[in-house]
Amino acid sequence: LNFHFLELLECSAAGKSLFRVQQYSAIMTVPATLIPGLHLFHVLIESLPLAMCMYIPVMKDPKLITKDLVFDGVPVRVYWPKTSPAGNRKGIIFLHGGAGVFGSIRKFCEMCLKWLTVQFRLAPEHPYPVPVLDSLTAVIHFMKNAKEYGVDASRIAIAGESIGGTFTAAICQELVTREDLPRVRAQVLIYPFLQGMDFNLPSYQQNHSVPPMFRKRTVKVGLTYLTGKTMNVDGVLKGAHVPPDLREKYQKWISADNIPEEFKARGYVPLEPAPFSEELYEQVKRGTETMFAPLLAEDDIIRQLPETFILTCEYDGFRDDGLLYKKRLEDHGVPVTWYHVQDGFHGIMAFAGWGPLEFPSTPKCLQSVIQFLKDL
């Protein structure tokens, strides 16, 4: 594997932060001898976490006990520290991001928690809503049987990274009306995707070419999850998929007007949406469901949500989704702890524990999550 990186040039502090994101984009070159019939095969590796996931073996932590189980048909892995004190403890349900990489699980053994990860089915073979429903099934099973796993059912938090954060938000909304289950103690949303109405918010404009979340590719992947098919996304990027009545309804929640001015400083130009396309809307209309886009939930649901931790990164197209959700929660009296990573990018926490590949902000991100969970 030959990784080719850019050379660092003299530039502003903001430019250096952006470079730190871009320098971890690489081209992986596979010799022709490995792929018969090809002279050379180039694969774009959009972030090193993906490369590490593919080529670096996962090390087991001697301080943890792990067990693979099946909860009502959904594969899960349960982690708990070998030195956990007696009695029921806090429990964390973690829903992974798109790359399925979270290299910091061993850090949580210090907290004496029971830790559960869910292996939900994936698109395109299993498009929306299958992955989020798998996650919901596993969550409900765990909450109903918490005592069996040494967990206090009233002290369960749900956490998710990237689309796992989407699932976390959606599941917490689903559970607020369930009287047969204990109330979720808290939700942790790590750079989540929360709406598919507007891909021209300031964060999308500012970070359209920032890896790994290139704007066009991100939307294409999101629509593959939604529909199970590869689509031309040009119309969606321009907003042609949103009916005028829905745009008007959700404008109060999804608008650059609700983004603090300091987050527009790197550039923002208000754009008029393209003319509405009924054909395009028919293909993606399930994207207005709250299981896909939790930011569209009604106020009576939002105000019942549990205490929330939200982590956002400056160089991330999803940044403004987190900011808009933070505002909605706070407007309805939900306690919110917000941690913004000024030099961070989407996927930064995947570098935790990787030595020289670890960004300076990575352990700070991780510690912010750990501290929030400890304080519950």
> d(Cα 31, Cα 303) in Å, to the nearest integer?
56
Environment class of residue 217 by beta-carbon count within 10 Å: exposed (0-12), middle (13-18) or buried (19+)? middle
| Tokens at 210, concatenated | 């920032």
Residue of 316, 320, 321, 343 marked catalytic: 316
228 DSSP 8-state letter: S
Residues 6+ apart with CB under 8 A from 320: 201, 202, 203, 204, 256, 259, 263
What does residue 243 show for φ and ψ, rounded to 5 degrees? -60, 145
CB 225, CB 193: distance < 8 Å: no
Give whole-number Cα distances, 136 to 168, 173, 293, 369, in Å. 9, 11, 15, 22
35 DSSP 8-state letter: S
346 as an active site residue: the answer is yes
Specify the pairing of strand 26-31 against strand 40-45: antiparallel
Residues 6+ apart with CB under 8 A from 266: 14, 202, 206
Residue of 104, 162, 203, 361 marked catalytic: 162
Environment class of residue 367 by beta-carbon count within 10 Å: exposed (0-12), middle (13-18) or buried (19+)? middle
> Which amino acids are annotated catalytic?
162, 316, 346
